[in-house]
Amino acid sequence: MPVLEVQSVDAGYDTSHVLHGVSLELDRGEVVALLGRNGAGKSTTLRAIMGLNPLWRGKVRLEGTVPSGRRPWEIAGAGVAWVPEDRRVFARLTVWENLEVASRPPRDGVVRWSPQRIWELFPELAQRMHQPGARLSGGEQQMLAIARALVSHPRVLLLDEPTQGLAPVVVKRLGELLSSLAAEVPILLAEQNVRFALQLAHRVYVIDDGRIRYQGSADSLRADPEAQLRLLAVGG
C-alpha cells in the first residue's frame, strides 16, 4: 500500500479548473519528483493534497485512509507536512521558537524527531538557535522550514520548489539533506530545477496543463535528453 495515493483528482481555484484527473503514488523510502513548467499544476497538486484547494473530484489516501474533505490542519494532524514555496518562517521568532511552535507529540509508527536529531541533521541551525528567522540566509530559512515540518513527526513530507532562489552550493547541501531524509520520511517534491530533482528522486511524474503527461524512473528520464526537451523544454 502506498503511503500517499492521489487518485484521479480534479481541483482548482474558484471557477478556474487547474488539475484534470491527476494520479500519483508515494511509497516508503522514496523521493518522488513532480516536474513541470511554471503554471503546470505542481503547487496546486500539493495544495490539493493538503486540503488548501478542495477536491472537485477524486480522492487522496494517506496509508489507506481518506483525508479528502478534511480541513488543512486535520490533514497536517494526520501526518502530512507541507513546506510551501515561500517557506513562511516566523521572522520575529528565533530558530528554536519556530520549531517549538510546530512541535507535536510523537505519533506511533513514525520516526521521532527530537531536538537533538534536528541539530545533528542541521548543524547550521544549531549554531543560529537563538537568532530570529528574519536574520537567517535564504538557505538557512529553507532548512528551518524543513526542520519545522519534521518536528511534527510526519508520515509524508511535501516540498514545494525548495531550491528556488538558492545559490548552487546551498542547493547541493539541500540535496544531501533530503537524500539522507528519504529513508526515514517519504518525500513528494514539486520542483522546476530538473537537474536537482532527477539527481535526488527515485521516480518522476511530469505534469503539464494540469494533466500527468509522463511517469517513470528518474534514471530513465535523466538518460533521455529528448524526452526532457519534449516534456520540460530543457536538455539533459
pLDDT of residue 49: 95
Structural domain includes residue 127: no
pLDDT of residue 109: 72
Which CATH number fits the domain that encloses residue 58? 3.40.50.300
Cell 536537482 belongs to: 196
pLDDT of residue 236: 41
Residue 165 belongs to domain spanning: 4-87+157-232
Structural domain includes residue 130: no
Cell 513548467 belongs to: 37
pLDDT of residue 125: 94
Strand partners of residue 216: 204
Q: What is the mean pLDDT of each run of 10 residues along the chain (236 residues)?
A: 95 93 97 94 96 93 77 91 92 95 81 88 94 94 95 95 93 93 95 94 97 96 92 70
Structural domain includes residue 101: no
